[in-house]
Structure 1
Amino acid sequence: MYATLACPDWVDRLKSGRSLIPDLPLDRSRADRAVAIFNKLRLPDVGGQPSMAEAAGDWFREIVAALFGGFMPDSDDRFIREIFTLVPKKNSKTTGGAGIMMTALIMNERPRAEFLLIGPTQAVSDTAFSQAVGMIQADPYLTKRFHIKEHVKEIRDRTNGAKLKIKTFDTKVLVGSKPVGVLIDEIHELGKIASAARVLRQIRGGILPFPEGFVVFITTQSDEPPVGVFRSELIKARMIRDGKAQSVMLPVLYEFPVSMMKDGSWKDPANWWMVTPNRDRSITIERLIEGHTEALLEGDAALKIWASQHLNIEIGLALQDDNWAGAEFWPLAANKRLTLQEVKRRSSVIVIGIDGGGLDDLLGIAVMGRCKFTGKNLLWSHAWAHEIVKKRRPEIASKLDDLSKLKQLTFVKLPGEDVYELAGIVFDIEASGLLAAENSIGVDSFGVAAIRKALTKEDGGIAKERIVGIPQGWKLNGAIKDAERDLAGGQLVHAGLELMDFAVGNAKVVPRGNAVAIDKQVSGSAKIDPLMAALHAQVLMGLNPVPAGVSGWDTDDLDALEEKIAAAVLEAEARHVA
């Protein structure tokens, strides 16, 4: 690779106010020319129509320089073909994006080249087009050079026939287009569109024939947990920035480091300047403080949305005022090393919870073991979904695809395939001798009959009396409260799966007299079945189960038993087990 685009010292740069773009071997003549053109563009909607030289910060000029100067020496081939910029609202993101595309159109030398600026909504597209048109109309030379077609949101260069088209995203956005350069505004909104990944692949494939081709993403953080193409592109950008991957994408991410997220220092207004690169121009810290104060008065939900949009705080669980109280402690109880095999290895006894299974539902399994080293409850989960759920619930289709790629959710084409795979996990645990002798498996009292039938097969099945119907609604109040306390007190440790983050974040609590219930109807199409399965397992673990088979600790050889216990203690200390 010609040059690495990693910026491993980005935290130090962020805290000291230095550029988040590493030192790069740019083509300075191209970079300087692009910056000079960009600087001459004028803000059309500000009194006096100041130039970008006055209105834009150096941080954005550095992006312009990297984009237009990121070429190989003495070549038209780029080593920077993409830029991913994550910046909070009110930092002139859309205006800067319009300026980038006008700069590209002015610098372009390819006859009849086509450029696209794509907004996620009609409103964003209208704003971008208005800014680009205003920049042209504020300059006599640009007014003569470019022809504006208002009705189709198109700007044509009279000198060579090149075009800049401003479009609203849809699956047909590329019909008849062969773009040389593309800017996508607010890609976080596209994460909710199932077809966005396919369109993005088409865009990337479309620019390949052009050595000068580029794609730019400029976006704020999502006000919901990142999903779909936004999540995948954000993860990739972070990996490149941190030096864990190499690519032709340059990441410029104005976000707080994990350490500041954990210690809460991101909440201090004295630190907000770090992620506000256009401060004292389009936004001030004082205005941010005012907005923060208003959000505090509106409640927790408004505060989280405000933080995601104005400070780029990623929402992991989309907490709302009516969310389950255990969600607050959920992230702290995660242990990513906790695989199914690890739960089996470390447990003295295991119970299983199952929930869901209709064509519109997820089928969730929760395997909960009691750790033989610490006595804590260890939770591993998985889910299955019929392919049809993506059509019936398109709003969560991209999220389910993400979970499938992580191998935390399995799609099936035929009813029964999910139950068959689930039963295989149950039988494997039964064969290990760890499954509880009584009250082994908890299912919804009105659960799918196919599940019970699969588990109680004549040849090697589970005895019917070991499968327990778990009452739902307010009758789960005890398990809900127990799980909250166990999470808060460190008694419950889970595998840190995005599947369960999704389910826990979706769960809505409904008061029922003196009790509470986690209601599927209130939670809507955002599925909570894996969490319900975990609560079923919580009920059974509360019955203090004993294993049906030999645990592996019984021995008549006392010396061997002492050695086994000593080895287990040493292993626990070495691994820092939960």
Structure 2
Amino acid sequence: MDLSKITSKHFETALNYARAIVDCKILANLDRRLACERFLKDLTRTDIDFRQEQFDFVINLIEGTIHHVQGEDRNGISYKGQPLLLTDWQKFVCVNLFGFFEKDSDIRRFKEALIFLPRKQGKTAFSAALTEAKSILDRRSGSKAYIVANSVKQTLECFNFLVDNVNELKEDVEKLRIRDNNQEHSISINFGDGTSDIYAIANQEDKLDSLNCNCLVLDELHSWKRAGAKKYTLMKNAMKAYRNKLLIGISTAGDIPDGFLANRLKTLQKVLNGSITDSAYDSYFIFICKADQDEEGNILNSKGEITTIDDPEVLEMCTPSINVTVTLEELLDDASQAMNEPQLKTEFLNKTLNVFTNAMDAYFDINEFRSSDMQYDWTLDDLARLPIVWYGGADLSKLHDLTAGALYGSYKGIDICITHAFFPKLAAVKKAEEDGIPLFGWKEDGWLTMSNTPTVLHDDIVNWFISMKQKGFKIKLVGFDKKFGREFFFKMKKAGFKIKDQPQYFYKKSEGFRHIEVKVKNKQFYYLHSDAYEYCVQNVRAIEKTDDMIQYDKLDGDGGVQRIDLFDASVFSCCQMLEDMAYGNVGTEWLNRKY
């Protein structure tokens, strides 16, 4: 790539910023460092072009015509009415988004972007300014942009910022119309040589259909549930009529650790570190600012050592606008409060360190399960060949909803749990959308079977146990609460399985629950990397009773939309193993008794 004609001072700023981070002159988290390395490598490529005209236009437009509408600087001086001067990281983003082009073309390289930031980094003002600048840049194509957030109130943060700024354009454009009422929040501008329309809408299904635009800003993606991929794809398809389109996701972290954003983040981190090299992600700009973590979710410092949440180095690493929009002293004060008050810790982790956590009421830390699971990599075929005695369990309490079967065994001290879900196909689409359950993803991955009937049939679950037996799994005993399906009970007997009536009393399930908990903490629990099982584990809420017994339920209680059925089935099967082991020991002692 020939950079000899690049004379822009903004390019110099972005280049120096990237080099400073790569050379560790600026403390930054791993993902931000990898983003800068990617930028420097891209500048050496010959299959894409790099030009300065568009990012110069965007940055100069923002700094020359857009002003702050609220806030104060670190010295308490009002920002209102002051020019919006971009920080180095913001210029770095602009240079990337508007500097790279497809080879010998006017089509910009980046079509999608994720800007993942802690709170108070100026993301609302920056995203609004970026939307206005891009709309003006692409006005000749009839630019149309949408700002989408979870609520109207959130979208109005951006919209009101834009209204305050575009009002000053009235004398310089042919036509400016602002609609700000209960029905519509929009800005329409006719520049004479092109038009620009900006809409602020809430993230509601009925408002997202039939969109047609070249710019989408998706705010606070962290609150999107697990089925958010459909909504994201719907909005991405809204830009098909344009070549120079841009979909920007801008967000902090949240407490849905297997939601759309959390899963997208994992994928994009693999793109940055080189694990994924698919060309489909070459058009995806990635800028991630968060605290570094190990596999168990522990916070790491710049040396990769486990540290505390009040480590100044960590706070500086994950805060790109430090000492501009927020000071280190303020962050340290927040960290101290979070350490002294557990009720504040989750919010601090989500919004300041920008890491995902479980919901506050969730009993398990899913990172502990994942860390244990990642120690092993047996396939089903491998497990079928091992000398393991397997114990089964099933949760058939609601055949019109999620139903589960499980096998549980132990090999050289490692507990292994194989789970499988069942769901009626007729209700799958509705429940996947309404309740945010990725049923079709589980089906593709082999963790779920869909019944072609209004309810799951007992035969479906029986056939799964038969198929596992045919694969070579030595199933000694299956536990099941007979009151939830005598038909299943007798069909399992008829199929040749030894099945035992296992009432679902919490004091009985407590033993299996505690056993799994201990095995997970000792990294001796393997569940074949099942996303479906992880989903259920994250939805478990538990209350400790007398004698350390545990009573568990789903997070949102009766009538809620979350599911724990696969975890339930694993507990049933674990209880069967523990009871059989106990009876086996008693029998051995009796046979070996001394007279």
Does structure 1 residue 338 correspond to structure 2 residue 378?
Answer: yes
- The within-5 A match list for 1:406-421 is 406-414=445-453, 419-421=458-460
Change (3 A) 1:212 1:510: same
- The within-5 A match list for 1:212-227 is 212-227=244-259
Equivalent position of 1:43 in the other structure: 68
Which among 295, 301, 306 is matched to residue 264 of structure 1? Answer: 306
Equivalent position of 1:211 in the other structure: 243
Look up the SS of the partner of 1:99 in the other structure. helix
Deviations 1:316-373 (A, max 9, x none): xx1545615x8674333214523333322223311112113514542122211221xx
Following superposition, the deviation at residue 305 of structure 1 comes to 3.4
Equivalent position of 1:506 in the other structure: 539
> Match for 2:347: what amino acid?
I
Which among 327, 333, 351 is matched to residue 284 of structure 1? Answer: 327
Equivalent position of 2:264 in the other structure: 233
- Matches of 1:57 and 1:342 in 2, distance apart? 54
- Matches of 2:423 and 2:360 in 1, distance apart? 26
Deviations 1:26-80 (A, max 9, x none): 31121112111122221111324365553x3211122122222232355321211
- Matches of 2:127 and 2:510 in 1, distance apart? 51
User: Could you tell which deviates more after superposition, 385-394 or 443-452?
Assistant: 385-394
> Match for 2:530: what amino acid?
L
Equivalent position of 1:255 in the other structure: 290
- Matches of 2:541 and 2:237 in 1, distance apart? 42
Which among 20, 23, 36 is matched to residue 35 of structure 2? Answer: 20
Change (3 A) 1:341 1:163: same
Change (3 A) 1:164 1:485: closer
Which among 514, 538, 541 is matched to residue 574 of structure 2? Answer: 538
Change (3 A) 1:543 1:189: closer
Q: Is the 8 A contact 1:31 1:65 kept in 2?
A: yes
Q: Is the 8 A contact 1:222 1:309 kept in 2?
A: yes
Question: Normalising by the residue count of structure 1, what TM-score does the alignment of the two structures yield?
Answer: 0.81
Does structure 1 residue 165 correspond to structure 2 residue 199?
Answer: yes
- Matches of 1:254 and 1:33 in 2, distance apart? 26
Following superposition, the deviation at residue 535 of structure 1 comes to 1.2
Q: Is the 8 A contact 2:146 2:199 kept in 1?
A: yes
Q: Is the 8 A contact 1:338 1:380 kept in 2?
A: no
- Matches of 2:428 and 2:141 in 1, distance apart? 47
- Matches of 2:324 and 2:575 in 1, distance apart? 56
- The within-5 A match list for 1:313-324 is 313-315=355-357, 318=358, 320=360, 323=363
Identity, % of aligned positions: 17
> Match for 1:97: what amino acid?
S
The total of aligned residue pairs comes to 525
For structure 2, the 5+ residue unaligned runs are 3-17, 43-48, 72-77, 299-304, 583-595
Change (3 A) 1:157 1:424: same
- Matches of 1:310 and 1:528 in 2, distance apart? 30
Following superposition, the deviation at residue 434 of structure 1 comes to 4.9
Which among 349, 371, 379 is matched to residue 417 of structure 2? Answer: 379
Deviations 1:200-226 (A, max 9, x none): 334333323322222111111222223
Equivalent position of 1:476 in the other structure: 509
Following superposition, the deviation at residue 179 of structure 1 comes to 0.8
Change (3 A) 1:544 1:123: same
Deviations 1:143-179 (A, max 9, x none): 9874422233211223233211121122233556421
Look up the SS of the partner of 2:388 in the other structure. strand
Q: Is the 8 A contact 1:436 1:545 kept in 2?
A: no
Q: Is the 8 A contact 1:71 1:79 kept in 2?
A: yes
Q: Is the 8 A contact 2:146 2:201 kept in 1?
A: yes
Look up the SS of the partner of 1:542 in the other structure. helix
Following superposition, the deviation at residue 117 of structure 1 comes to 1.6
- Matches of 2:93 and 2:469 in 1, distance apart? 58
Following superposition, the deviation at residue 436 of structure 1 comes to 4.7
> Match for 2:536: what amino acid?
A
Change (3 A) 1:199 1:525: closer
Q: Is the 8 A contact 2:417 2:527 kept in 1?
A: yes
> Match for 1:291: what amino acid?
D
For structure 1, the 5+ residue unaligned runs are 547-578
Change (3 A) 1:250 1:207: same
- Matches of 1:322 and 1:73 in 2, distance apart? 50
Does structure 1 residue 351 correspond to structure 2 residue 391?
Answer: yes
- Matches of 1:535 and 1:543 in 2, distance apart? 12
RMSD (Å) for aligned C-alpha atoms: 3.4
> Match for 1:242: what amino acid?
N
> Match for 1:537: what amino acid?
S
> Match for 1:37: what amino acid?
L
Equivalent position of 2:587 in the other structure: none
Look up the SS of the partner of 2:200 in the other structure. strand
Equivalent position of 2:121 in the other structure: 91
Look up the SS of the partner of 1:38 in the other structure. helix
- Matches of 1:320 and 1:349 in 2, distance apart? 37
> Match for 1:20: what amino acid?
A
Deviations 1:106-147 (A, max 9, x none): 223325432222222111111110111122346786798744
Q: Is the 8 A contact 1:351 1:441 kept in 2?
A: yes
Equivalent position of 1:451 in the other structure: 488
Look up the SS of the partner of 1:59 in the other structure. helix
- Matches of 2:214 and 2:473 in 1, distance apart? 61
- The within-5 A match list for 1:365-404 is 365-371=405-411, 374-387=412-425, 388=427, 391=430, 396-404=435-443
Q: Is the 8 A contact 1:343 1:380 kept in 2?
A: no
Change (3 A) 1:258 1:488: closer
Change (3 A) 1:416 1:99: closer
Look up the SS of the partner of 1:487 in the other structure. helix
Change (3 A) 1:199 1:356: same
- Matches of 1:436 and 1:181 in 2, distance apart? 56
User: Could you tell which deviates more after superposition, 85-94 or 353-362?
Assistant: 353-362
- Matches of 2:515 and 2:208 in 1, distance apart? 53
Q: Is the 8 A contact 1:347 1:369 kept in 2?
A: no
Following superposition, the deviation at residue 254 of structure 1 comes to 1.4
Q: Is the 8 A contact 2:255 2:359 kept in 1?
A: no
Equivalent position of 2:108 in the other structure: 78
Equivalent position of 2:213 in the other structure: 179
Equivalent position of 1:103 in the other structure: 133
Change (3 A) 1:429 1:148: closer
